[in-house]
Amino acid sequence: MRDDRAVVRDALGVGIAVGLSGFAFGVTAAGAGISLAQTCALSLFVFTGASQFALVSALAAGGSPLTAAAGAFFLGFRNAFYGLRLSRLLGLRGGARLAAAHWVIDETSAVALAQRGQHAVRLGFTVTGATLFALWNLTTLLGALGAEALGDTDAWGLDAAGPAAFLALLAPMLRTGVERVTAGLAVVLGLGLLPVLPAGVPVLVAALAAPLVLLVHNGVLPGRRAERGGERKGKEESR
């Protein structure tokens, strides 16, 4: 079992590094015309950076609130799958389980899933979640308040900070060919459709990459099914 100090050190490192990017979100949201109260409420109650940046970016690009919210929702929906995995590992009950659900995001999941043993999983999850939640909300407030001092917020490119942190955490987790193909297809769909679809819609289409790759990989599509049928037949004949 890893030493508790090592778990805390790693959890604090992730929490502080990503938590500071809340400043970029605060600045970006203020630059998009979102009020201080709305900006802070997003960090308090949504608390998933990729979805928050997606929502604000879509609104800033002229997308409708419904489309922007839908894109943010589908990006955040991945946290439900993290929750299914972490629920068993954390072993929490009652109110503690409900409270922990709000902290189930990319960063807390990455740290928790890297641990061995329930104690280390709980420690990594809790320290990462507490550090990140506190810093993210504090820096969101500071960023929104300081947006006016920065002038043209678009010129700073701060809206890329959140997605960049998300990609940095995601990249090491793409270990299999299926995972890499899914990520690559999502990127192609998202970027390729930016010039032709309304703001916020490309990210919704990019979400189709996962089911499409799974359909092909699992042999649900006709061509793949026939290919796998031939493979099975060949194996049976060779016996």
Cα–Cα distance for residue pair 203/187, rounded to 1 Å: 9
Task: State whether 169 and 181 are in the same domain.
Answer: no
Q: Are 103 and 162 found together in one domain?
A: yes
Specify whether 116 is located in the same domain as 183.
Answer: no
Cβ proximity of 147 and 27 under 8 Å = yes
- Domain identity same for 32 and 127: yes
In whole angstroms, what is the distance from residue 179 CA to residue 217 CA?
11
Domain boundary among 173, 201, 224: 173
Do 28 and 135 belong together in one domain? yes
Residues 27 and 56 in one domain: yes
Amino acid in the structure at residue 94: G
Is residue 107 located within the same domain as residue 120? yes
Check: pTM over 0.75? Answer yes or no: no
User: What does the block give as tokens for 37?
Assistant: 């109260």
pLDDT tens profile 59-87? 887 878 888 888 888 888 889 989 988 99
DSSP designation for 61: T
Domain count for the chain, please give it.
2
DSSP per-residue string spanning 76-106: HTHHHHHHHHHHHHH---HHHHHHHHTT-SH
pLDDT digits (tens, 9 = 90+) for 141-173: 998 988 766 655 555 555 555 555 556 556 666
**Based on the domain organization, do 59 and 153 belong to the same domain?**
yes
Boundaries of domain holding 216: 176-239
